[in-house]
Amino acid sequence: MLIVLTGKTASGKDTIIAKILTKYPNFKKILTTTSRAIREDERNGIDYNFISRKDFEEKINRGEFLEYVEYGGNFYGTEKSQINPDQNLIWKIDPSMAGKAKQIFPECIIIYITVDDNTVSTRLKERGLSQSEITARMQDDRQFFNSYSSKYDHIIENVLGKLEVTVNKVFQIIEDYQKNLK
């Protein structure tokens, strides 16, 4: 089983993934590789594989990525070595790459997480982004959603203060999918 989680920037994807991994310990998170700087609350090899831009570009040239994208001035991508078809996987991926995920893995379930713009703005300010960076990311989010929304199997709004409602909707999707596999 492959669950693809995508969505707006700062929509709570990592928090939702942590909840999924707690409830479904048989799932493994596909670890994304990034060239961006590590944040204070992140751990290399747990949250992302953090590498330099030069190393990322060398991996691109060697064909080591299943997919990658440049977003916010940094590279993000999935190394081929992260994919094991014999495991239940959860994959956080850029919204623009969700269609490619469906092409590569037609049976995957793509869940898009959205959140209101005020919440996005507040969370990105807390991360230290400038207003111009916040505006650019929010514009990118709108463009990606308008371009790729037909590729998403489920769209869930993560309402501020109602994380458990959002998480339970994701759990229900997983449980329904598992029932259909039997």
Q: How far is CA 60 from the centre of its chain?
A: 20
| pTM metric for this prediction | 0.86
Which CATH code fits 2-181? 3.40.50.300
pLDDT in tens, 132-163: 999 998 998 899 898 888 889 999 999 999 99
Spatial distance between the Cα atoms of 146 and 133, rounded to a whole number of angstroms: 20
Please report the pLDDT score of residue 182 as a whole number: 65
pLDDT at 85: 79
CB 8 within 8 A of CB 116: no
Q: Which of 106, 104, 61 has the alpha carbon at shortest distance from 83? A: 104
- Give the residue-averaged pLDDT of 11-23: 94
Q: Are 122 and 9 in contact (CB under 8 A)?
A: no
The domain ranges of the chain are 2-181
